[in-house]
Each structure stands twice: as C-alpha cells, then as structure tokens.
Chain A
Amino acid sequence: MTAPVISNVPEPSSVEPTAHRPAPRVRWRTPRWMRGTVLVWIAAVVLVAAVLAAVFAPWLAPNDPDRIDLMNQYASPSAAHWFGTDSLGRDLLSRMMHGARTALLGPLLVVIGSTILGMLLGLLAAWRGGWVDAVLARLFDLLFAFPALLLAILAVALFGKGLVAPVIAMAIAYAPIVARLTRQLVLAEKQRAYVSAYRVQGFGGGWIALNRVLPNVTPVVGAQSTLNFGYVLAELAGLSFLGLGVQAPQSDWGSMINEAQVGLLSGHYLPAIIPAVAVVLVVVAVNILGEEFAERIGGNKA
C-alpha cells in the first residue's frame, strides 16, 4: 500500500470507481419516473442500514476489522467472511461496518458545521445589508473559487492528516453554499409584512432575525443541506482514497478503495468494489431523501 503523493492526483482519480465526480456544484437530479414513494423507502432503508451498521459496528461486526490473517488473503465470500477478505486477510464486512463510522461521521459533522456557519453568515448578510452584505458576498465568492477538496487538502498540508482538519476545511468550504441560500431566503422573508408587523409591535431587529426569521428559513435550508451530505461523503472518501484522510489501520471506505488498488491489477475486484458500491449507494440514498425533503418543504411553503 503506497500513499500517492499529490502529483499523482490525476491518475488515481481517473480510476476512481465511484460514479461521483468531485465537482459538487452539479446537482444530481433523479429522473421523474423514478421519483415516488418506493424509491424514497428504499433510500431510507439503505441509509438506516448504514447508520445502524456504523453505530453498532463494535457489537455487530463478526470479526475484528484490524485482525490480519495472512493465510487468508483475498478469500472469497464464505460463511466466515460474508464479503471475503482483503490483501491482508482482514474481514471485509467488519471493515465496512467500522469504516461506515468515519465515512458517515465526517459528512455529518461537515453538514452540521457548514449549516450553522452558513446560516448565521447568510442571515447577517441579508439582515444588515449594505457594506456587511458586500464584504460577505465577496468572501463567499472567494471561497467558491476554491474546490472544497483543494481546501481540504490544503488543511491537511497545514495541520496534518486525519479526520479533523479536512472536516473543518470542508465545513468552511460548504458554508458559502448554505449562506447564499439563506441570504436569498432571508431577503425574501424580510420583505414580508410579518417582519414589519413585528417591528411595529416593538420587537427589536436582532430578536426578529434570530427568533422569527431564521426558524422560518431553516426547513428549506436544512433540506438543501442534507443534499450536501452525499457530496461531502464522496469527497471525504476521495480524500482518504488519496491517503490524506483517516489513517491506517483505522478503516474507512475511501482508504479501503485505495488499499484495494493493488489487488485490482491481480484480478481481486471485491475489496475495491464493495466500499465503492457502498459510497455510491449512500450518496444516492441521501440525494433521494434530500430531494424529497426539499420538495415537500418547498411544496408546503408555496
């Protein structure tokens, strides 16, 4: 297992088996015929299964994910190893379950962080207007110019490998997306007479903004933010695929794909395909659910 250096980036990314390209601004659109309750339920089941596997991994996993068994390299799926084993004979199912913890926790933290940060900045920009708005808008533009992944790599370069630095970097990178949406919604909300009504009643501007306007835009912003979850998951997986995220021996879907690269050449596809499929499944499931939320909330609003 060799951790690719930065100059290698284009090459491994061209082999990256996930269907998701690292350009997160292009939104996935589920085709119309696929929309509907069945798909939503399947997505929910996939996501719940992934979450349960992650939360209860220490109890559910059949094996120690880090136990190396060199006698059992690249074992095929069997009763003992449902998904088989990897190049070091480690149980893939157990690694997948433990890997889900970091794979899901990272994006969750990023989504929470970027939502809080973005909503506050967006609210500030829209509510204060004037130079505050102008300065923040330029700041958002600046952040938008950097791909999130690049920012995360930068953070890793500055603060070292692991989960913390990339998560903070990605939270900052995704905040402008949330902030712009919030700003737009708050601007529209600010025009509505109920805000004037609160003012006439004698409520202060800050109180109205935080206690009344912000909660009113939260559902829409929240639904949009869940859509970011999928992109972040894929990007963080990409990061650990590059060897910059979660470090061995701790398992993570992205790093599992990376480790499995070597095996690909000798015809051992399973160790790479399983985590790749997991990433795709979760990303698609989150997108379906996110769109469903966004649509329902949008429908209620109108």
Chain B
Amino acid sequence: MSLLEISQLTLDLPGGKRLLHGIDLSVEPGRTVGLVGESGSGKSLTARTALGLFPERAVLGGSVRVDGVEVLGLAGPALRALRRRDVAMVFQDPRAGINPVRTLGDHLTEALRLGEGVSGEAARKRAMELMEAVRLPRPEKHFHQYPHELSGGQLQRIMIAGALMGNPRLLVCDEPTTALDVTTQAEIVRLLATLRDERGMGMLFITHDLGLAGALCDDVVVLAGGRVQERGDMAAVLAAPAAEYTRRLVAATPSLHLDDAPVVSLPDAGRLAGAGGRHEAGPATGGAAAGEAPDGAASAEATAGTRAGDDAVVPAEPAVPSAPAAGATAGTGAGDDAVVPLLRVDGVSRTYAVRGKDPVTAVADASFAIPRGAALGVVGESGSGKSTLARMVVGLETPDRGTITVAGKDRTGTPRGREERLAHARSVQMVFQDPYLSLDPRIPVHRAVRDAAALHAEGRDPAKVATELLDRVGLTVEQQAARPRTLSGGQRQRVAMARALAVQPELLVMDEATSALDVSVQAQVLELVTQLRAERGLTVLFISHDLGVVRRVCDETLVLRRGEIVEAGPTAALLDHPAHEYTRLLLDSVPRPDAGWRLAG
C-alpha cells in the first residue's frame, strides 16, 4: 500500500471552474516524488489535499488516501490528528509561515505541548534533537531566539524541524527553497534528502524547477493546466520526455543546459542529446562534466541544424538562434568603439549606514567595462550588491566613490535637472525584476510606452513608436490597450522592455528581469533579448542569480560576492573552468540531475 495515494482527484471552485482534472499520484515510503509544473498548473492544490487543505467551498472528487485512510471528507479531530502525526508540510517562505513575536522554541514545541499533551521538558528535548538533525549549529541558543535573528536558510531548517516534530511519515514540501539563495538551496535540498533516508519518510516535493526536481526526486509527475502531462522515473523523464509539454519544459530550464553552448532556443532534440549523455555518465564529478561539455555542445548544435526543421515544438524561426551570438561577437570586436567601451565602471563603491550597526558595504571598488553591443552578466546571491550596482548605473543611487561613464560621458550619480535627467535616461534604461510592480497599475500599456517615447520624442511620433515597439515584443492590439493587471507576467515584462526601448537607450540594464517568470516564459523573454540585441546592437548589463540564464544571454560574466568582484571573464570559460572557489560553489549549487544531492545520506 502506498503512503499517499491520490486517484482521480478533481477540484471545482464554487463558480464551477475546474482546476484539477483527475490527478493520479502515489508516494511510496522512502521515495521522493517531484510534482513539477509552472504557476497555475495546480501543483500546490494537488499536494495540499494530502493535508486536507483546499480552497474554501471547493468541491472535490476522487480520493486522497494517506496510509489507506481517506482524507477527503475528514474533519475535526481526525483531520487534526492526520496533520499532527501523519503528514507535515514545509512552505515556500519560512518568514511568512512563522509567528514573528514567539521564540523558535515556542514554535517547535507548541504542537506537541498543546496537541499531544507532552510535557514541556520532553517537547524541548525533542526540539533539541530535531534542531541537531537539521544541522542547526546552536540548538540551545536558537531555542530562545526569535525568527528575525536567523537567516532565511536557518529559518527554513527550523520550519523543517517543526514539520518533523510529529514524526510524520509523509513530508509535503511546497517550493521550500524558492525564497532562498542557490547555495542555501543546495544545502536545504541535501538536508531533505538525508532526512528522508534516515527516517524512511515519503516526500512529495513541489517545484517549478525541473533541474531541482532532477537533483532530488526519484519519480516525477509533470502537471500543466490541472492535468498530469507525464509521470515516471525522474531520470528517464529528463532523458527522454514523452509529452510535448515536458519536452518544452526541459528545453526551457536553464540549469539543465549549463554545459551547452550559449545559444537561445535550441531545438529539443539537441538539448536531450546533451542531457542524456550526461545522465548516462552517472553521478559525474564536476571535472568529468566539464570535460564532456564541448562534446555535448557540439552535438547539440549539429542536431539543431538537422532537426530544427521538423521539430514543431520550437515556435521561432530556426535561423534566429545563431544570429545574435555572431552579431554580438562582431559588435564586440568591431570598429571604432572597441577602444572606448560603452559602459565603464571605475572603482565604484557604495556603503549603507545601518542604524546601530556597522555600515554595510554593498559594492566595494568595482571596476569593469562593457564594449558596445556586448552583453555582460553579473552573477551573485542576495546581498552581493548586484542590484545596488544596477541602481547606480541607471542613476537611482549615487556611488560613494568612483565614476560611471556611458559612451564617454559621465553618468555618475542621480541626475539633477531636466536636461541631465533626460540625457541619463537616453544613455541607460532598465528592466526591473518584478513586472507586477514595475508597471503603473493605472496606465494602459500603450500609453505607458507612449509617455516614455513622448518624453524622448526627438521628432518621432510617440504613438507610432509605441505601437511599433509593442508589436515587436509581441503584444496584440487588445493587450496594448489593456491595463497591466490583465496581462500575464511575461507580457508585462515585454511591455517593460518596449518601454525601455522607447527611450532609445544605448545601454539596457536587466536586473533579475526574468527571475519572477515561469521557465517557459523566461525562455521567450530571453530569446527576445537576444533578438533585440542582434537587431539594434543593444548593449546589455544582465544581472541574475541564475548561472544557466547568464549562460544563455551573456558573452562575458563577472561574479560578485559581498560587493566584491571575485572573478570575471568570458561566460563559457568562466563556467567551464571556474578559478575562484566561490564561482565553483555557485556552480556546484546549480540543481541538476548529476549534482549527486540524492546520495547525500
């Protein structure tokens, strides 16, 4: 008998809208099942039914059995007992899931003390054990600490310990690492794998990242639109995805293609050759994978050429992918601008004063340059200063020291006065991280782009410019007239790009511009960036935490850690032969099937 057996699960909202269309899924003890899908696929809805959690007044059909006991229809004490003893859940954002005014000890022991009537001392002892089990350094101290005193990663460990307090046999993890940095993510995922092995728990792991699922899970269920698209052995699905949707997902997931050549939108067949090759090699070491990379890339490109024609999965013209790379290289080396780089950042520092604490150095003595037409990637974790760097380049912040020049003109600091403001804007534009916040909710998108164009008209007709640009980024006439609210994340980010381009900037800064998007949408936006670079000779400063994304877009990359540039160089060389230990750590933290995290226990 399976630990969790979901069969023919349907979920209808009170309005009659069906969100889940007959999901089948089972989890065996000691195994991890990955539930993979993009936003709105119903993956969280499905997993939460295992704990009897679902939207108010939703109508459920089918059956959800935990250890043979039907969960649907369970209520009151029986449901609470299920949640206390059998199934536990780890949520996405640990900070949102914990009461900030209670100590961590309270949080951990509460359920045992109040629910099971365990004495305070015994509960405390158990909490200590579990805090050690989740590898927290100082359980005695943490017990009396408050949530704000811990980092996100530490807090997620606490949440995991809390989930384990009732000794559950099934652990449901809902994107438990999405809010964390990549290196922390790697640690947490290794920890989860170990705990599962030690306790023989079953685990249902929800994620949008196929690479992450590949790094941790034994089996996978791919969900889209509330339907199961594909299921099976994790490695087998990654190696040879049967469903078209899965194929697209595999192709769009950057972390799976870290060793491929930096080309956008490679046809699926090529991708799979690379992925399969790696996988057969087993849990390869970093060196072996790197050595293998040129082969994989070469074969990928070869296949791309031959297979692109008959592969309907790829929407864009097959000629596009190779063009930008060539264009970029040409731009880098070509002509008079090679001497004066478009962007030159020289010894720039920025320190923030923190009340009652030592000042924080966000960026320390950063110097680099981007040739006209090139794309530079800036990689780093949160707190590495990459966003501060971006904000200084676009003039939202003033550096403490150092200079920033764009096309030979000084663009250091926030511009003063109308002339300077407009000139700065024409040098640099920016696409922000969260497209849900970076567009004015009240202004229809066409007008937003038109306003930007009108401010920098220079004889152009703003309305025409706006229409052309929005057409170019692929928005329909209705979408152009709409307000941002009605658009999806990807569409909004396209609008943001059109708006930036309306100013006709020389340099485009993209600050984590795709990290809020689903992988397939991210792939489309990245492709658009590459196309626009080729068409307009745009220079791009691309800031990201995702090495796979940088690999796709950037010719050169620099790695930032705590405000310092630790390594810089051509992207391919940097990723294949990282010189600095931090770069290696980042690379090792990229979730992929051969990361060997599953074997951690």
Contact = CB atoms under 8 A, between A and B. Distances in A.
Interface string A168-200: 000000000000000000000000111011111
Interface in B377-401: 391, 394-396
A73 interface: no
A201 B429 CA distance: 7
Contacts of B172: none
B396 A199 contact: yes
B455 A196 contact: no
Interface in A74-88: none
A202 B437 CA distance: 18
B443 to A, nearest CB: 8
A212 interface: yes
Contacts of A202: 415, 421-422, 424-426, 455-456, 503
B203 interface: no
Interface size range of chain B in the complex: 20 to 34
Interface in B57-80: none
B440 A193 contact: no
B357 interface: no
Contacts of B456: 202
Contact of B440 (A199, A204, A212): A212
A199 B428 CA distance: 12
A197 B496 contact: yes
Given A193-B432, A193-B433, A194-B437, A200 B442 contact: no
A193 B434 contact: yes
Nearest to A198: B440
A43 B426 CA distance: 54
Contact of B441 (A196, A198, A204, A216): A216
Given A193-B432, A215-B442, A200 B437 contact: no
A117 B396 CA distance: 30
A41 interface: no
A159 interface: no
B517 interface: no
B379 to A, nearest CB: 21
A196 B426 CA distance: 15
A203 interface: yes
Interface size range of chain A in the complex: 10 to 19
A203 B421 CA distance: 8
A196 B396 contact: yes
Given A193-B434, A212-B440, A200 B428 contact: yes
A201 B503 contact: yes
Contacts of A216: 440-442
Contact of A201 (B391, B439, B455): B455
A264 to B, nearest CB: 52
B430 interface: yes
B138 interface: no
B438 interface: yes
Nearest to A195: B440
B438 A204 contact: no
A200 B427 CA distance: 10
Interface in A57-74: none
A192 B430 contact: no
B507 to A, nearest CB: 12
B415, B421, B433, most chain A CB atoms within 10 A? B421
Nearest to A215: B442
Given A202-B456, A202-B503, A203-B455, A193 B437 contact: yes
Interface in B498-532: 499, 503
Contacts of A193: 432-434, 437-438
Nearest to B502: A201
Contacts of B432: 193, 196-197
B437 A204 contact: no
Contacts of B425: 200-202
B452 interface: yes
Contacts of B438: 192-194, 196-197
A192 B437 contact: yes
A197 B434 contact: no
A194 B418 CA distance: 19
A63 to B, nearest CB: 50
Contacts of B394: 200
Contacts of B499: 197, 201
A206 to B, nearest CB: 11
B56 to A, nearest CB: 15
B164 to A, nearest CB: 34
Nearest to B485: A300
Contacts of A197: 430, 432, 438-440, 496, 499
B429 A200 contact: yes
A192, A193, A201, A204, most chain B CB atoms within 10 A? A201
A194 B492 CA distance: 12
A17 to B, nearest CB: 43
A193 B432 CA distance: 7
A201 B437 CA distance: 16
Contacts of B433: 193
Interface string B393-422: 011100000000000000000010010011
A200 B422 contact: no
Nearest to B439: A194
B513 to A, nearest CB: 11
Nearest to A197: B438
Given A193-B437, A194-B437, A204 B418 contact: yes
A49 B561 CA distance: 68
Interface in A5-45: none
B100 to A, nearest CB: 19
A44 B443 CA distance: 30
A216 B422 CA distance: 24
Nearest to B434: A193
Contacts of B452: 201
A193 to B, nearest CB: 4
B299 to A, nearest CB: 42
Interface in B442-476: 442-443, 451-452, 455-456
A204 B421 contact: yes
Nearest to A218: B442
Nearest to B424: A202
Contacts of B426: 202
A204 to B, nearest CB: 7
Contact of A200 (B418, B430, B439, B451): B430
Nearest to B433: A193
Contacts of B424: 202
Given A200-B394, A202-B422, A202-B425, A194 B440 contact: yes
A194 B394 CA distance: 14
A268 B430 CA distance: 74
A200 B425 CA distance: 6
Contacts of A194: 437-441
Interface of B: 391, 394-396, 415, 418, 421-422, 424-426, 428-430, 432-434, 437-443, 451-452, 455-456, 496, 499, 503
24 contacts: A192-B437, A193-B432, A193-B433, A194-B438, A194-B441, A196-B432, A197-B430, A197-B438, A197-B496, A197-B499, A198-B440, A200-B394, A201-B425, A201-B452, A201-B455, A201-B499, A202-B424, A202-B425, A202-B455, A202-B456, A202-B503, A216-B440, A216-B441, A216-B442
Given A200-B425, A202-B456, 18 more contacts: A192-B438, A193-B433, A193-B437, A193-B438, A196-B396, A196-B438, A197-B432, A197-B438, A197-B499, A200-B395, A200-B396, A200-B428, A201-B452, A202-B415, A202-B422, A204-B421, A212-B440, A216-B441
A-B pairs, top 10 by smallest CB distance, nearest first, are A202-B425, A193-B438, A193-B437, A193-B432, A202-B422, A194-B440, A202-B421, A201-B452, A192-B437, A200-B430
Interface of A: 192-194, 196-204, 212, 215-216
